[in-house]
Structure 1
Amino acid sequence: MKLFKSLLIAPTALGLMVPLATNASEVNLNDISNYSDLESIDLANSFKKDEEVKSTLLAGGEGLVDDHSGGFSETTTASFSVDMVVGAVDSDDATTSEATTFDYQMGIGLSTSFTGEDSLDVAIDIGGGDGDAQSISATAMGLDATKGVLTVDGVTYSFPVGGASVIVGDATDISAAYTGACSYSAFLDYMGNCGTGNSVGVGTAGVTAAVSYAFDGGFSLAGGVTSPQSEILGETGVDMYGIEAAYTGEDFGVSLAYTDAETTTYLGLNGTYSFDVASLSVGLETEDADGSDEAFGWFAGLTFDEVGPGSLSLGMGTTANFTDDDDEYYVYEASYAYPINDGMTITPGIYTAESSAGDTTGVIVKTSFSF
């Protein structure tokens, strides 16, 4: 019953959000222009230091910049995003809370270039949850839990070497250099791996160096290594090595990746094909751990890009990789994303995840802002 009561709350939350977006569009631009007379207010000088700091940087494609007057390079950009989630669950597991919850996360992306071909990128996350006591809905959606504290989520620098692209950084996945072959618009964070989270989507977010090369005709190769921050390529901790080969055609793509995590290896295959009305994505992955039987997992998803004003996604897959002797459990999801305007999208969705403790069904409404 709690789940169905929560279904009544979600539309109410949407009703509160949409007027806010509507009112935001009714700003009187004429009133604002009255305050923009640069003859009386010099915005540029209001941030000017007593002593100008001169630096010599290469701005992207612009040549040598001799004077920034203490400001940012013209090639530096910032992007912002906010996700708000209202969710409730109904579970057979007695230890699972069925409370209706609200969670949020904010992301800040900073990017700059010094030569026009390179890119220095910094990702900053803010999440309201506690990682040790995050709600079921926040965990399912993969929201960041930083207790409201600004946290650097990754620092990377990418640059060309010959015809190849190199990426190095901290808190970075090897798969950042991979091409991949999945066009599915996932709702749950787990489904975003497209069934190959240990191979094509290899993570761990450590100290990483990776290189990729795109050949003519749609074929590409990539590979890299990642280590714990405490010791790079040392005897303590797990070092991971990965390689991927991919081909991208006009309406389809395929990707094959291999990961060696010392005591466990993974082999993953992704494929996607675009039809007139939808795109199909599939994923297969095998896991071979020392002292254990080979395990296998899979995924399949359909995304219909034009269903009314938005897009519809339907997906299912195994909750992990399972051996032949294991009981297999599956996760199912359906979601519908529709844009309110260029910077706001509302995505209601429902999912069911099986486990040995019983099934958990969740209803979540996510409102995403980008600016």
Structure 2
Amino acid sequence: MKLFQQLLVAPAALGLLAPLAVVNSPAAHAAELKINSVSDYTDVADSEEQVTSITQFSDVYPTDWAYQALASLIERYGCVAGYPNGTFGGNRAMTRYEAAALLNACLDRITEVTDELRRLIKEFERELAIIRGRVDGLEARVGELEATQFSTTTKLKGQADFFTGGIKYADRDECNEEEPGECTSDAFNFSYRLTLNLNTSFTGKDLLYTRLRAGNMDNQWTQTDSYLADAKKGDSTLKVDKLWYTFPFGSGFKATVGALIENYYMIETPTRYKPILKAFKLGGYGAVLGASTGQGFGVQWRQQVSPGEPALNIAANYVADGGDGAKGDSKEGLFGENTDAYFLSQIGYGNRQWHISALYALKNAGQKEVCVTDEAGLESCSISSGAKAAMGYSTPRAKDLGHPLSAVGLRGYWSPIDSGWIPSISAGIDFGFADGQFDGNAEAVKGWMVGLNWKDAFMDGNKLGVGFGSYSSYATSVKGQGWPDDENFAVEVYYDFRVTDNIQVTPAIFWVDDAYGQEQLPGQNKFGGLVKTTFKF
């Protein structure tokens, strides 16, 4: 036996035995050496009927101070034996012979275990060598990745969307007769959108978000009355599309500042419905939540509760809409009098299964003075009504607003606990009010939508979706004209088919009725069909 193996087991055995022995005491020297007892002990220790459980000793109890040490020697090494009468004799003095017998038995067991390990190592020597080689190879690859990695703080996630499909007008010829060349794009097409998300964290709790996007959609998918939620108009130029930084502070607070951001990124997501048409985005992309990318900042607070428990959330933010915040004009910039300023606030309550929130938006598109000189040299000036830049999806009459626009909205969703025939429900409704300063200006607008999703529809992992509602915010009151005939409607149906964890195919159809309200041309209603294929990487 190797020396270090003996040294390992010796302290354990002696730690148990030393308190039981009376070393160098007069009684020990005077005690009669009981050779027969030693013989009995060694006979038992060497026998095949070793003690396998401490419960076999009739005089050892869990309350004894050495109970755990004795149990460990029995269970781990199986080298402890008692006396023929079934006792351990823990309270009697032990002779040096008995101590030697016990220690020898334990060392023999260690030798047996070690020999067994040697045999196993020899038997699986080839497999162990293969594993050792693989570990060495993995270490080399990890070292190479660490040396060539893109960043230690940034994670890249990408998505490529392919769109194939087309749009059919209700009556293209009738539309073109009313306004020549207005209804011409109904060809079958193939286009794409590419998204690269860069998520950077410096502390593990903060986030610098950068989104790069490119697309080649210059077709019906980017037209106002059939705009897709995932559309990207462009010439395949990759550019920075979103850029902001968010960080936590205090208890439940989070602050965000963005050079390229939309207001709805700084609130609790108020819907669970992911639409095909952008008009149904966020429970209605109109009077309250419709916006353009700009410069802004916001603060959010969420109640700290146990996971799954309903929580209260409050948010407020400001965005200089349409990029006005980056301009250097003295009347524009982040807070200029002609800046398209957009304030949004939210208060909500719920969890991942259900949520309801109330929202308020103030859209202040700065009025601009427009001056025209006639043939006689006389100059006449007028103030253009604003709020168009921050209206999101609205009919032409709804966009012609006085200044400013105040809008309130309700959003909510509910999801069943288990998948089945009962769908998750998302819904939203908006009302907007403006001080109409000119005859013909809209004074009130409205929009609504309902979205239904069936999880695991027909097959596990797939999803069926149905959305319907007003295509955009429409005017309900116009100064000097009362109630206009401006209402519109749209409906969509889609099915997400998950091919793999990273590939999804989504066939969809939709119908848009009177997207432009009372300015709709005859025959301009649209029926569309497409197949979207999504690759995530």
Mark yes or no: TM-score above 0.5: yes
* Equivalent in the alignment of 1:245: 347
The correspondence of residues 116-127 of structure 1 with structure 2, limited to 5 A, is 116-127=204-215
Paired letter, 1:209: F
Among residues 267, 271, 276, which one is paired with 1:182 in the alignment? 271
Partners of 1:303 and 1:43 lie apart in 2 by: 44
Matches within 5 A, 1:265-280: 265-275=406-416, 276=418, 277-280=422-425
Q: Mean alpha-carbon deviation: is it higher for 221-230 or for 187-196?
A: 187-196
Q: Is the 1:174–1:223 Cα contact (8 Å) retained in structure 2?
A: no
Q: Is the counterpart of residue 97 in structure 1 residue 185 in structure 2?
A: yes
SS at match of 1:192: helix
Following TM superposition, by how much is the alpha carbon of 1:71 offset from its aligned partner in structure 2, in angstroms? 5.8
* Distance change (3 Å), C-alpha of 1:339 and 1:70: closer
Who is 2:466 aligned against?
314
Counterparts of 1:158-307 in structure 2 under 5 Å?
158-163=246-251, 164-199=253-288, 201-216=289-304, 217-227=310-320, 228=324, 229-230=326-327, 231-249=333-351, 251-262=353-364, 263-275=404-416, 276=418, 277-291=422-436, 292-307=442-457
Contact 1:196 1:284 in 2 (8 A): no
Aligned-pair CA distance for 1:69: 7.1
Match of 1:84 in 2: 162
The one-letter code sitting in structure 2 at the alignment partner of 1:82 is A
Contact 1:137/1:362 (8 A) holds in 2: no
The whole-number CA distance in structure 2 between the counterparts of 1:205 and 1:260 is: 16
* Distance verdict in 2 for CA 1:71–1:46, change over 3 Å: closer
Task: Confirm or deny: 8 A CA contact 2:467 2:493 kept in the other structure.
Answer: yes
Partner AA of 1:296 in structure 2: K
> Using the alignment, how far apart are the partners of 2:507 and 2:347 within structure 1?
35
Query: Which residue type is aligned with residue 429 of structure 2?
Result: L
| Paired residues of 1:223 and 1:243 also in contact (CA < 8 A) | yes
SS at match of 2:499: strand
Give the Cα separation in 1 of the matches to 2:272 and 2:526.
26
Letter of the 2:512 partner, please give it.
Answer: A
State the AA in 1 paired with 2:338. T
Cα offsets for 1:76-124 (capped at 9, x unmatched): 1001100000011110344142210111010001111111111111000
Asked if structure 2 preserves the Cα contact closer than 8 Å seen for 1:298 and 1:317, the reply is yes
User: Which has the higher Rg, Structure 1 or Structure 2?
Assistant: 2
Deviation at 1:196, TM superposition (A): 4.9
For residues 197 and 294 of structure 1, the distance between their equivalents in structure 2, rounded to whole angstroms, comes to 13
85-94 vs 222-231, which deviates more?
Answer: 85-94
Gaps spanning 5+ residues in structure 1: where? 1-35, 48-67
Contact kept, 8 Å, 1:196 with 1:269, in 2: the verdict is no
8 Å contact 1:283–1:298 — kept in the other structure?
yes
Superposition TM-score, scaled by structure 2 size? 0.54
For 1:144-159, what aligned pairs fall within 5 Å after superposition? 144-159=232-247
Query: 1:180 Cα shift?
Result: 3.1
Change over 3 Å in CA distance of 1:251–1:120 after alignment to 2: closer
Q: Equivalent of 2:527, from 346, 357, 361?
A: 361
2:219 is the alignment partner of 1:135: yes
- Matching residue of 2:98: none
| Alignment partners' CA distance in 2, 1:189 and 1:223 | 24
RMSD: 2.4
Higher helix share: 2
AA aligned opposite 2:530? I
Call closer, same or farther: CA 1:235–1:38 in 2, change over 3 Å.
farther
The count of corresponding residues between Structure 1 and Structure 2 is 309
CA distance in 1: counterparts of 2:352 and 2:136, whole angstroms:
50
The structure richer in strand per residue is: 1
- For the residue of structure 1 that corresponds to 2:340, the secondary structure is coil
Q: Distance in 2 between matches of 1:272 and 1:340?
A: 27
Q: From the superposition, tell whether residues 85 and 251 of structure 1 become closer, same or farther in structure 2 (CA, over 3 Å).
A: same
Separation in 2 of the partners of 1:168 and 1:69? 33
Q: Give how far 1:166 is off.
A: 0.7
